[in-house]
Amino acid sequence: MNMSDLSVRNTNDSMQRMTDAVLRAGGGSAAVLLIAPSPGDATDAGQLGLDAPNFQGLTLAPAIFRRTRPTMTQNQPATYELLISATAVAQQVSLLQLSSADALFSMVAAVNMGGLTLLIEEWACTVSLGTPMAYRLLLRASEPQSMTTDD
């Protein structure tokens, strides 16, 4: 959602650069978002889980990755928080010719952080003076998967 500040003021990208600096200082990780390749698989096999999806890794940095404060509940997977630079997201949105960051995140099948596969539960945008600074993603650890297919 674009909530621009329409007041007359001298704006520059200093807040965005400061946000990126904070993200680098706080961890400076890189998040790999797994998205479907383009063009996609339009075959029956692709829709029935027979073909490998060949997800592409989209690297976004800087990012901060941390575990959320745990609420001890039986059989609940661990949840994590990922803060990604809005400038990095905007760059990928432009490269992929998408309409918005929401469109990008809705395409993401999973997030890979240092070999750990995570699923996106929710995302939100941190905005300053109408300009996105960072995106906050709530992630959940995925269940273990077998190493081979069942064919």
Say if residues 109 and 58 touch (Cβ distance below 8 Å).
Answer: no
Q: Is 102 in the site for other proteins (CB under 8 A)?
A: no
What is the total count of residues that contact other proteins (CB under 8 A)? 26
Using DSSP's 3-state secondary structure scheme, residue 141 falls into strand
- Binding segment for other proteins (CB under 8 A), chosen from 1-9, 18-26, 81-89, 102-110, is 102-110
Q: Is 38 in the site for other proteins (CB under 8 A)?
A: yes
Calculate ∠ Cα 55-58-63, nearest 5°: 135
**Of the candidate residues 1, 6, 8, 42, the single one contacting other proteins (CB under 8 A):** 42
Q: Is 125 in the site for other proteins (CB under 8 A)?
A: no
Q: Is 44 in the site for other proteins (CB under 8 A)?
A: yes
For 29-73, the DSSP string reads: EEEEEEE--SS---SHHHHTT-S---PEEEEEEEEEEEEPPP---
The residues of the shown chain that bind other proteins, judged by CB under 8 A, are 36-50, 53, 106-107, 109-110, 119-122, 142, 151
